[in-house]
Amino acid sequence: MRLDAHQHFWNYTENAADFVWMTDDLGVLQRNFLPTDLAPLLAAANMDGCIAVQAREVQSETDYLLELAASNPTIKGVVGWVDLCAPDVEARIEPYSDMPALKGIRMLIHDREDADFADSAEHARGVASLAKFGLTYDLLLRSIHLPSAIRLVDSLPDQPFVVDHIAKPKMDGSDWEAWQFGMREIAKRPNVLCKLSGLVTEADWSAWQASSFIPYLDTVLEAFGPDRLMIGSDWPVCTLAADYQSTLDIVTSWASRLSEPEQAAIMGGTCARFYSVR
């Protein structure tokens, strides 16, 4: 099974105020992006489906994505949003306990001013509650958040985690040492996987070169191995810098030197296992 492990849908027309991160320089994203828009792109790329990931920090986002999944069979799972710092976090998750399409939860760690938010007491307590419901956790990080994320992972060795967008390194190389060290360290934890996604938007949107991503991809391959890597488009955010197929081609071209089983893992097998897609 070939799966896009990371993409988004939104109804911007009706919910513009919720997208506080969508500033004017991201104007190309300020419209609706729906399953009917992605479906032909998935088909053209021979993808069997996708994982829809939250893009708004409101609980109605989880409901919205689950509604889309119920009527669109290409959506194989949902990573939703719940306020994991809320005192009643388990009560907030409980209504979804009989909804198998909900695979995991994500909070926007990389938007927090506190670089140590990941293992802060309230957040760590909320993440610890996910095991009760069999949910994964997507770690949305930058290099500065990796030390705190490692401490969080160490406190929850049985919780499945995946690092989104290879932790969004700065493609100008300015955080190379910190990023490389942090990724190698977090990869030592077997309950942590990594998404090969979000690369083009960390580079020069108009002048990126596929070759510039190779050192980063090689690093995570060495650290995690192919069985803990999964391809993701980050569509439609990727359209700031590249179309859907070109975004996937960065990873598929790089991975072409690997064995067929290793490529199969990256192209969907790892994602299916992590998110329990059947």
Classify domain 3-274 at the CATH topology level.
TIM Barrel (3.20.20)
Q: In what order do the strands lie in the sheet with 192-196?
A: 3-7, 49-53, 75-80, 102-107, 136-139, 161-163, 192-196, 229-231
- For the chain of 278 residues, list the mean pLDDT of each consecutive stretch of 10: 98 95 94 98 98 97 98 98 98 97 96 94 98 98 97 98 97 95 98 98 95 97 98 98 98 98 98 96
Helical spans, DSSP H, in 187-274:
214-224, 244-255, 260-264, 270-274
Amino acid at 130: L
- Output the pLDDT for position 142: 96
Cis peptide before 35 (omega within 30 of 0): no
- Output the pLDDT for position 145: 97
Which of 79, 85, 73 lies closest to 42, judged by CA?
73
- Output the pLDDT for position 195: 98
**pTM for the whole thing?**
0.97
- Output the pLDDT for position 16: 95
